[in-house]
């Protein structure tokens, strides 16, 4: 049930903000409007205007909690509805036939169809001049990542593999085109949004798209390939997981699980020196290659496919006749200008190379550096921060990729260390600093390009804190505090618990995932000093995920109940009002519920206190003191949505007026293979969402609106 009466009389936070700003004469013309709206509370807080505003507005959740569910449905609170916007294979250009959803579609048509596995996304409001306007809600370019594929459902009977090789080229082409990014125009119609299939602005960026390598690693010998002997270009983006955006209206798509796609047999080790082997091992470049794409070119001559073979096959010393360096051209933050189809996307190498989940901007303040927060999503990996060298000039808000060249190709990269006393440090990853140089014992670095290409090794060298799998981050627009999910970690070593990753427990119902940090947690920090200049912070754990009936002293530390318990937080997103959305990609609580979306009204770092958590492994016991946020309550955290069977809930975007929330339902039925799945027997598919019946499941973007037209999730009171 919704509380519609509250919304009717409460103006949207952004509207209140703009009204106050208008009164003060700060908004002049559309650019000022766009910038101020984008800059939001952070920038304006510097003026003191918004701090007063934030203090006078409180949020109240405007829905009743949705119960946990195992149904093959999207469950929403009473008073809310959703519409399907963009599902796997949907045409995004005129003349492309409707998706067959039986594997029958022509392979190349995927360059004009939505890809698979919808993930991170962003709503770029568009004004009447078809320019970016962050206050525009009626019309927009929506950028949607397509992280990966459920290959079986893309072909009539799954992948054709003979003697370990892909033998049907068109299947591989279709799969390569089903990864990447969709840019689609959407318009508000009848209270929700519709895809404008005929828009000339619709486009796909895929594993085939030519992309520039920009920043300090461009032209490095580490980037030389047969495709680009100068090391300044590469082909495609891959593993497009979460995302980010810039104050000049461009999209950041982040390359996460790219390493596994490369083939590199163990016989290649003999052709590598010890330093190269250290780097290849640290990034996991080994094995047959996920999806076996390289095998579609048995003689190595068809570069569409041979570029996925990262072994030394050529005679050159520099790698200009093979793809030994191809993995170095993936694992980056990639900038795309959705409003300019003429410019090539760029890989921004100054932000480092790892399993990039996303890149979340900090508050934007005139005359100060820009900041992006990032996480490397693998067990025991790090949290990073990038700080631009150049100081923000609002005149650059219309400069597109040229602004990216200015702010994102030059800056400092840091990795985070979380100390037991609740303090934290940003450790700079610059050549010649903090022991990162040619004398580094594990991996001697040659220069800054080497540091960025091997950012994980640089973070190892400075002693950053190994986290329980960093997924999404989000920055609270009210106070600049940064939140990041640590999704779960069954590999958390009992002997290496620390204050920021303090839990080790067992859960028999969670199967093979039921050991270690079984359910994950959400950490947050407050920079000490200016956001961009700070090298120290204070942190606590905002929420520990858990079953509601788990041990409250050591597992259900945040006091979750049946209305808000969850597992494996992944997606994270702040509405402009300061409402925090939490999405799950769960592996350990599936006996009780499918994945979900929750809404939270967060407090501030330090609003809880110290807690001692006791972990046990057989006869051994470890006591770790940590710093926890205030316990959850019915007023501060509620389940808003539960998805269909075997899905992940991921990706969030909202219309600037807060009346529509875009959410992705990803990889339904993905684990079907583990459970006796037979592609020719629809009854064995774990999910049939969204079509139902015997249909193959499809990943999709949905648009959620409130039936009374109010703001989604919370009202300002």
Report the nearest approach of Ca ion to the CB of residue 523 (Å). Answer: 16
| The entry of Ca ion, ligand FEO, none that residue 41 binds, CB within 5 to 8 Å by partner kind | none
Which residues have C-beta within 8 Å of that of residue 151, sequence separation ≥ 6?
158, 159, 175, 291
Binding residue for Ca ion (CB under 5 A) from 185, 291, 396, 570? 570
| The entry of Ca ion, ligand FEO, none that residue 540 binds, CB within 5 to 8 Å by partner kind | none
Report the nearest approach of ligand FEO to the CB of residue 491 (Å). Answer: 15
Report the nearest approach of ligand FEO to the CB of residue 471 (Å). Answer: 5
CB nearer Ca ion, residue 132 or residue 488: 488
| The entry of ligand FEO, Ca ion, none that residue 147 binds, CB within 5 to 8 Å by partner kind | ligand FEO
Report the nearest approach of ligand FEO to the CB of residue 99 (Å). Answer: 23
Residue pair 565/557 in contact (Cβ under 8 Å)? The answer is: no
- The piece of 184-192, 413-421, 485-493, 675-683 that touches Ca ion (CB under 5 A) is 485-493
Taking CB under 6 A as the rule, does residue 259 contact ligand FEO? no
Which residues have C-beta within 8 Å of that of residue 478, sequence separation ≥ 6?
41, 54, 578
Binding residue for ligand FEO (CB under 6 A) from 147, 507, 565, 583? 147
Taking CB under 6 A as the rule, does residue 471 contact ligand FEO? yes
Beta carbons within 10 angstroms of residue 121's beta carbon? 25
Q: Give the CB-nearest residue to ligand FEO.
A: 241
CB nearer ligand FEO, residue 116 or residue 471: 471
CB nearer Ca ion, residue 357 or residue 540: 357
CB nearer ligand FEO, residue 291 or residue 377: 377
Angle in degrees, CA 370, 713, 691, rounded to 5 = 105
Query: Which contacts (CB < 8 Å, 24+ apart) does range 545-548 have?
Result: 545/488, 545/519, 545/520, 545/521, 545/569, 545/584, 546/519, 547/507, 547/519, 547/589, 547/592
Which residues have C-beta within 8 Å of that of residue 350, sequence separation ≥ 6?
215, 216, 386, 408, 409, 410, 411, 413, 452
473-502 binders of ligand FEO (CB under 6 A): none
Taking CB under 5 A as the rule, does residue 586 contact Ca ion? no
The region, left, alpha or beta by phi > 0 then psi within -120 to 50, assigned to residue 257 is beta
The DSSP-derived string for 458-472 is HHHHHTPPPEE-EEE
CB nearer ligand FEO, residue 72 or residue 471: 471
Distance of CA 649 to the CA centre of its chain: 12
Q: Which two tokens stand for residue 569?
A: 């937080």
Report the nearest approach of Ca ion to the CB of residue 699 (Å). Answer: 13
How far apart, in whole angstroms, are the C-alpha atoms of residue 467 and residue 355? 13
Taking CB under 5 A as the rule, does residue 585 contact Ca ion? yes
Residues in the chain: 717
Using CB under 6 A as the binding criterion, the count of chain residues that bind ligand FEO stands at 6
Taking CB under 6 A as the rule, does residue 76 contact ligand FEO? no
Binding residue for ligand FEO (CB under 6 A) from 377, 381, 481, 527? 377
Report the nearest approach of ligand FEO to the CB of residue 241 (Å). Answer: 3
Taking CB under 6 A as the rule, does residue 357 contact ligand FEO? yes
How far apart, in whole angstroms, are the C-alpha atoms of residue 62 and residue 706? 10
Using CB under 5 A as the binding criterion, the count of chain residues that bind Ca ion stands at 4
| The entry of Ca ion, ligand FEO, none that residue 565 binds, CB within 5 to 8 Å by partner kind | none
237-256 binders of ligand FEO (CB under 6 A): 241, 256
Beta strands 482-486 and 505-506, pairing class:
unpaired
Binding residue for Ca ion (CB under 5 A) from 322, 468, 471, 565? 471
Report the nearest approach of ligand FEO to the CB of residue 239 (Å). Answer: 7
Residue pair 581/651 in contact (Cβ under 8 Å)? The answer is: no
Q: H/E/C letters for each residue in 137-195?
A: CCEEEEEEEECCCCHHHHCECECCEECCEECCHHHHHHHHHCCEEEEEEEEEECCEEEE
Residue 622's alpha-carbon distances to 145, 464, 544, 658, in angstroms, are 41, 22, 18, 45
- The piece of 99-107, 333-341, 487-495, 627-635 that touches Ca ion (CB under 5 A) is 487-495
Residue 540: phi and psi, rounded to 5, are: -150, 175
Taking CB under 6 A as the rule, does residue 381 contact ligand FEO? no
Report the nearest approach of Ca ion to the CB of residue 147 (Å). Answer: 8
Applying CB under 6 A, the residues found at the interface with ligand FEO are 147, 241, 256, 357, 377, 471
Applying CB under 5 A, the residues found at the interface with Ca ion are 471, 487, 570, 585
């Amino acid at each position: 049930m919704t509380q519609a009466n509250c919304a009717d009389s409460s103006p949207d936070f952004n509207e209140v903000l703009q009204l106050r700003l208008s009164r003060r004469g700060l908004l002049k013309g559309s650019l000022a409007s766009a910038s101020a709206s984008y800059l939001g509370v952070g920038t304006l807080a510097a003026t003191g205007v918004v701090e007063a505003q934030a203090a006078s507005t409180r949020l109240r959740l405007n829905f009743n909690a949705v119960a946990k569910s195992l149904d093959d449905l999207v469950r929403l609170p009473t008073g809310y509805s959703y519409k399907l916007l963009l599902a796997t294979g949907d045409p995004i250009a005129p003349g492309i036939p409707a998706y067959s959803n039986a594997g029958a579609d022509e392979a190349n048509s995927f360059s004009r169809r939505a890809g698979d596995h919808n993930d991170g996304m962003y709503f770029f409001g568009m004004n009447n001049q078809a320019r970016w306007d962050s206050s525009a809600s009626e019309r927009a370019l929506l950028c949607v990542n397509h992280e990966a594929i459920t290959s079986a459902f893309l072909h009539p009977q799954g992948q054709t593999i003979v003697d370990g090789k892909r033998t049907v080229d068109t299947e591989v082409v279709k799969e390569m085109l089903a990864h990447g990014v969709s840019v689609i125009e959407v318009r508000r119609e009848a209270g929700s949004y519709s895809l404008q299939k005929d828009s000339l602005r619709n486009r796909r960026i895929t594993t085939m798209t030519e992309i520039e390598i920009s920043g300090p690693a461009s032209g490095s010998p580490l980037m030389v390939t047969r495709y680009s002997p100068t090391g300044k270009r590469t082909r495609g983006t891959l593993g497009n997981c979460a995302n980010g955006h810039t104050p000049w209206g461009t999209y950041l798509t982040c390359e996460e699980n790219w390493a596994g796609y490369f083939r590199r047999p163990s016989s290649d080790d003999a052709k590598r020196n010890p330093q190269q082997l250290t780097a290849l091992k640290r990034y996991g470049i080994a094995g047959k290659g996920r999806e076996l794409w390289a095998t579609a070119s048995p003689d190595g001559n068809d570069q569409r496919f041979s570029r996925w073979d990262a072994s030394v096959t050529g005679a050159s010393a520099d790698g200009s006749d093979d793809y030994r360096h191809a993995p170095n051209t993936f694992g980056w933050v990639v900038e795309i200008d959705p409003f300019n189809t003429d410019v090539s996307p760029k890989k921004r190498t100054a932000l480092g190379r790892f399993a990039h989940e996303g890149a979340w901007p900090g508050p934007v303040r005139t005359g100060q550096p820009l900041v992006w927060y990032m996480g490397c999503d693998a067990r025991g990996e790090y949290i990073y921060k990038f700080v631009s060298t150049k100081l923000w000039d609002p005149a650059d808000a219309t400069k597109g990729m040229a602004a990216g060249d200015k702010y994102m190709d030059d800056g400092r990269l840091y990795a985070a260390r979380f100390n037991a006393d609740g303090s934290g440090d940003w450790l700079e990853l610059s050549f010649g600093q903090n022991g990162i140089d040619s004398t580094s014992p594990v991996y001697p670095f040659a220069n800054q390009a080497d540091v960025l290409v091997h950012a994980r090794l640089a973070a190892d060298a400075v002693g950053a804190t190994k986290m329980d799998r960093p997924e999404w981050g989000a920055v609270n627009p009210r106070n600049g505090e940064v939140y990041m999910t640590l999704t779960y970690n069954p590999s958390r070593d009992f002997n290496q618990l620390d204050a920021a990753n303090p839990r080790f427990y067992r859960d028999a119902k969670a199967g093979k995932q039921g050991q270690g940090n079984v359910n994950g947690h959400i950490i947050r920090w407050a920079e000490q000093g200016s956001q961009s200049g700070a090298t120290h912070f204070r942190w606590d754990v905002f929420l520990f995920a858990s079953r509601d009936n788990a041990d409250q002293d050591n597992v259900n530390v945040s006091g979750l109940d049946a209305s808000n318990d969850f597992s494996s937080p992944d997606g994270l997103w702040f509405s402009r009002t300061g409402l925090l959305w939490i999405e799950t990609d769960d592996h350990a609580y599936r006996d009780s519920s499918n994945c979900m979306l929750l809404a939270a009204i967060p407090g501030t770092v330090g609003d809880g206190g110290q807690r001692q958590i006791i972990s046990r492994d057989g006869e051994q016991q470890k006591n770790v003191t940590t710093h926890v946020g205030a316990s959850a309550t019915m007023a501060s955290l509620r389940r808003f949505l539960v998805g269909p069977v075997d899905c992940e809930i991921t990706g969030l975007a909202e219309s600037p007026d807060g009346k529509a929330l875009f959410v992705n339902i990803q990889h339904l039925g993905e684990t079907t293979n583990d459970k006796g799945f037979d592609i020719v027997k629809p009854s064995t598919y774990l999910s049939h969402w969204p079509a139902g019946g015997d249909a193959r499941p499809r990943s999709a973007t949905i648009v959620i609106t409130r039936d009374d037209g109010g703001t989604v999730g919370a009202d300002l009171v």
